[in-house]
Amino acid sequence: MREWIEYAGAWLGLKLLGWLPRSAARLVGASFAWMAYRLRTPLRRAALANLEIAFPEWSGKRREEVIGRMIQQVGWLAGEFSQLPKYSRENIEQIVVIDGFENFDAAKRLGKGVLFLTGHMSAWELSSFAHALYGYPLHFLVRPVANRRVDALINGYRCLSGNRPIDKNKSARAILKVLGEAGTVGILMDHNTSLDEGVFVNFFGAPASTSSGLARLALRTDAAVVPGFLIWDTARRKYRLRFEKAVELARTDDEEADVIENTQRFTQVIEEHVRQYPDQWLWVHKRWKTRPPGDPPMYSF
């Protein structure tokens, strides 16, 4: 019964937001995001703690301002997600523009597949969705939602533009198949991971447990790792999906050292984008939760 109630709530929420004009859906989404943030104390604590770690020189006021704009971005994401059925090749340029496409195209032409390196920036669900509408559908790595009906509902929206999900827990073989066919796989790699899945690399001056999967895949397949991040461009009043040049990989006789070095390079790319657009990254996640053995916890809650 609980599963059905959760599904009904998610379905109704998406349909009601989707029925609204885009501007209203974004406004309502932002309002709900503010309510959730105020009601859930752990979110507030995590956001403030993360900003203290990343920007210790900032004043409390500045951190609060950044958090406020971040919450708005998250709310806009909810609004945009509800509008996905309305977006098409004919109107997507009114919502998302692409910069640096030549970087993705150059990597694609190598014929060994592309690993799309990205993170939880702005309305990140729009990045892969828009990319597909522009004519380049991809597979994306996701962690399944516990409620299978809600999971199917969300993925149904995500796949409207031609993309396909890959279960994060069963990903290796599927990803190798896609890359073997010169396809593209999108991977969000800016969240904390467990000791057995990750390696520790520097992120804002502190060791952060980071998935090593992307580095291992790139080294094994020679697929190009192309950073691509969705940013809200205030001047254009549109989202901008910017592709950077493929990350140059370190290759030596020490594979494990190469995995760590390349994971550090990927993480550095993410940090540079977060530093440039701090109000558009998802600060409510405990990025430094997993600690090196023997190190004290970064969070006291």
Per residue in 120-141, pLDDT (tens digit) is: 999 999 999 999 999 999 999 9
pLDDT of residue 246: 98
This prediction has a pTM of: 0.95
Dihedral sign from CA coordinates of 220, 140, 286, 153? negative
Render pLDDT for 146-182 as a digit per residue (tens, 0 to 9): 899 999 999 999 999 999 999 988 788 999 999 999 9
CA distance 181 to 277: 35
Burial (CB < 10 A; 0-12, 13-18, 19+), residue 41, is exposed
CB-based contacts of 12, cutoff 8 Å, min separation 6 = none
pLDDT of residue 1: 75
Residues in the chain: 301
pLDDT beneath 50, residues of the chain: none
Q: Which residues of 159-171 are buried (b: 16+ CB within 10 A; e: fewer)?
A: bbbebbbbebeeb
pLDDT of residue 210: 98
Tokens of 229: 């991040």
